[in-house]
């Protein structure tokens, strides 16, 4: 299932760009038509509907552009997800650490009482001596 999301994103992106380009030609056509209709009578119903046609053509362009943006985001998310999947593959002998390793932080404080906590490598947990309990 590698790169499925990225491929879907690319398809949406291409469809969005192509749709926006194609429908933009409708905008220019509608604008030319409106200019021809409105030059004689700017307050006629024909001029009004011709102007409205420009707006609806623009709406189509914007919808395709949004589809392209969504496709772009889906593509990036798909690429990042696949990349992080590859990076998250555990290296042999390396255990994930919930808290800071003891070498990096030999001392820590207990989140309950605030006193120093001690790392117990045997159980891979922090131990609070004051409370005699694992943190
Ligand atoms: Zn404590």
C-beta neighbour count of 88 within 10 angstroms: 8
Which residues, at least 6 apart from 86, have a Cβ–Cβ distance to it below 8 Å?
Answer: none
pLDDT of residue 131: 96
Report the alpha-carbon distance of residue 11 to residue 34 in Å, rounded. 34
Mean pLDDT of all residues in 5-21: 89
Report CA(134)–ligand 1 centroid distance (Å): 8
How far apart, in Å, are the Cα atoms of 60 and each of 46, 68, 71, 116?
A: 21, 12, 16, 64
Angle 30-33-39 from CA coordinates, rounded to 5°: 135
Mean pLDDT of the chain: 85
Report CA(118)–ligand 1 centroid distance (Å): 10
pLDDT digits (tens, 9 = 90+) for 72-93: 998 898 888 888 876 655 555 5
Report CA(99)–ligand 1 centroid distance (Å): 16
pLDDT of residue 58: 93
pLDDT digits (tens, 9 = 90+) for 94-120: 555 566 555 555 678 999 999 999 999
Helix axis angle, 4-38 to 45-88, nearest 10°: 170
pLDDT digits (tens, 9 = 90+) for 36-81: 889 888 888 889 898 999 999 999 999 999 999 999 998 898 888 8
């Amino acid at each position: 299932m590698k790169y499925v999301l990225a491929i879907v994103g690319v398809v949406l992106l291409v469809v969005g760009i192509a749709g926006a380009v194609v429908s933009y030609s409708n905008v220019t056509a509608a604008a030319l038509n409106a200019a021809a209709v409105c030059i004689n009578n700017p307050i006629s119903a024909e001029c009004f509907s011709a102007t409205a046609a420009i707006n609806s053509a623009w709406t189509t362009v914007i919808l395709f552009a949004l589809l392209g943006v969504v496709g772009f985001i889906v593509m990036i998310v798909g690429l990042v997800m696949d990349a992080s999947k590859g990076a998250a593959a555990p290296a042999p002998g390396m255990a994930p650490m919930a808290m800071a390793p003891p070498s990096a932080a030999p001392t820590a404080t207990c989140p309950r009482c605030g006193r120093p906590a001690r790392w117990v490598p045997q159980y891979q947990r922090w131990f609070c001596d004051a409370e005699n309990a694992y943190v």
